């Protein structure tokens, strides 16, 4: 069975147990539990669990179902982040389906319940996101890994959650302050994505295996540039990507006003007219297709898209060099997997 399938199986078994608990509280909570399962199991590349698993294997830990279940907890953390992120951004879709707050808003409207449907949808998304966060902790600790290994991994797991929360807030703050500096964009990319997506999962795996500082240093050397490249590719796809691949409408990042490296580069190189267009279009939820095309043209004409693609190449090369330097300290089989994951993360083709 492929690793992704094993992760899905571990998640399905855990969610089935949790659904039984929730249904036992009240019959009306069936949809509440089923929505989490549908969201978690309905898509996703399992990037974080995969990196954590191979981080552990690369540090010498043997394969086991307990290890697979333990690292699967990161997918529940990701589900929490996505539910909250979609609510913050007012996103209508996720993975080609309605976002959680939109699903519950629609349910309220169908049932004809009292109150505002939007408030009910928002409340449900907050609660379900919190529930996934709680469950991520529970699965990490109850998967069957030795107590000492889990205790060692908790420091990275806890710091990971702190960093992604701070990175998310900095992202929101940069939007309302209209901060288009490259420095802020880089910090958001590092703490909201780079460390959270790749470096921390690798380090969690290293901790589960009891790895020393040499392996951890190698993992940081691989994970940080690769994670930043992953985020920059995400930024490009958020503006120029195919909705069939991204699961979100094209140009949504522009409507949400995300101040990414791509936007920061465009702002720095833009003339007065281009800056005025960026200022008027970014963060405008009513931006139509023509408006999206105007902003895309600016991102290309200022060289921002080319600069971002070049930055992705530089970061990928740094990660590849770090990978090569780790030979002798990291298991060769894991390094081969890392090499494939490097290509997949940069191209977003897993």
Instruction: Write out pLDDT tens, residues 137-196.
Output: 999 999 999 999 999 999 999 999 999 999 999 999 998 898 989 999 999 999 988 899
Say whether pLDDT at 346 is over 90: no
Q: How much is the pLDDT for 33?
A: 92
The predicted-structure confidence for 292-343, as pLDDT tens digits, reads as follows 999 999 999 999 999 999 999 999 999 999 999 999 999 999 999 999 988 8
Per the CB < 8 A criterion, the answer to whether 233 and 346 are in contact is yes
Backbone phi, psi, residue 60, to 5°: 105, 5
Threshold 0.85, pTM exceeds: yes
Instruction: Give the list of residues 6+ apart from residue 99 with CB closer than 8 angstroms, or none.
Output: 83, 86, 87, 91, 92, 93, 125
**CB contact at 8 A, 286 and 327:** no
For residue range 207-263, list pLDDT tens digits in order: 999 999 999 999 999 999 999 999 999 899 989 988 777 667 778 889 988 889 999
Cβ contact 154:236 at 8 Å: no
**What is the assigned CATH class of domain 1-145?**
mainly alpha
Task: Check residue 348 and give its pLDDT.
Answer: 66
Fold of 148-350: Farnesyl Diphosphate Synthase (1.10.600)
Residue 349 confidence (pLDDT): 62
CB atoms within 10 A of CB 282: 22
CA dihedral 145→151→152→154, nearest 10 degrees, is 100
Using an 8 Å Cβ cutoff, are 255 and 285 in contact? Answer: yes
Whether 281 shows a pLDDT value over 60: the answer reads yes
* Pair 231, 197: CB distance under 8 Å: yes
Residue 350 has pLDDT above 60, yes or no: no
Distances (CA, A) of 316 to 55, 144, 219, 241, 271: 18, 35, 14, 20, 31
Q: How many CA atoms lie within 13 A of 102 on its CB side?
A: 14
Helices (H) and strands (E) counted in the chain, each on its own, are 17, 2
Q: What is the structure's pLDDT at 64?
A: 98
Three-state DSSP at 272 gives helix
Strand 97-98 and strand 93-94: the pairing is: antiparallel
CATH 1.10.600.10 residue window(s) in the chain: 1-145, 148-350
pLDDT tens column, 25-37:
999 999 999 999 9
């Amino acid at each position: 069975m492929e690793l992704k399938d094993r992760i899905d199986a571990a998640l399905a078994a855990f969610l089935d147990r949790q659904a039984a608990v929730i249904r036992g509280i009240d019959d009306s909570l069936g949809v509440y539990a089923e929505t989490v399962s549908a969201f978690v199991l309905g898509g996703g590349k399992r990037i974080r669990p995969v990196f954590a698993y191979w981080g552990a294997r690369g540090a010498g830990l043997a394969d086991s179902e307990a290890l697979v279940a333990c690292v699967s907890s990161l997918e529940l953390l990701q589900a929490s982040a996505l539910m909250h992120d979609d609510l913050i951004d007012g996103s209508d879709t996720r993975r080609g389906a309605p976002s959680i707050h939109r699903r519950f808003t629609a349910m309220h409207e169908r049932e004809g319940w009292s109150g505002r449907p939007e408030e009910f949808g928002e409340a449900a998304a907050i609660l379900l996101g919190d529930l996934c966060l709680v469950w991520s902790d529970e699965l990490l600790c109850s998967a069957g890994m030795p107590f000492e290994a889990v205790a060692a991994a908790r420091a990275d797991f806890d710091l990971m959650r702190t960093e992604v929360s701070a990175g998310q807030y900095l992202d929101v703050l940069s939007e309302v302050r209209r901060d288009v500096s490259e420095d802020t964009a880089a910090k958001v990319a590092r703490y909201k994505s780079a460390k959270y997506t790749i470096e921390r999962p690798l380090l969690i795996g290293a901790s589960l295996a009891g790895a020393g500082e040499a392996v951890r240093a190698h993992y940081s050397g691989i994970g940080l540039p690769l994670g930043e490249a992953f985020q920059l590719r995400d930024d490009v796809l958020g503006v120029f990507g195919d909705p069939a691949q991204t699961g979100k409408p094209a140009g949504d990042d522009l409507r949400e006003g995300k101040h990414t490296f791509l936007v920061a580069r465009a702002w720095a190189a833009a003339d007065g007219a281009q800056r005025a267009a960026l200022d008027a279009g970014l963060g405008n939820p009513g931006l139509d297709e023509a408006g999206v095309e105007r902003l895309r043209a600016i991102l290309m004409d200022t060289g921002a898209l080319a600069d971002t693609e070049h930055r992705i190449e530089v970061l990928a090369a740094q990660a590849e060099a770090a990978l090569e330097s780790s030979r002798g300290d990291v298991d060769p089989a894991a390094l081969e997997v890392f090499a494939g994951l490097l290509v997949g993360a940069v191209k977003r083709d897993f």
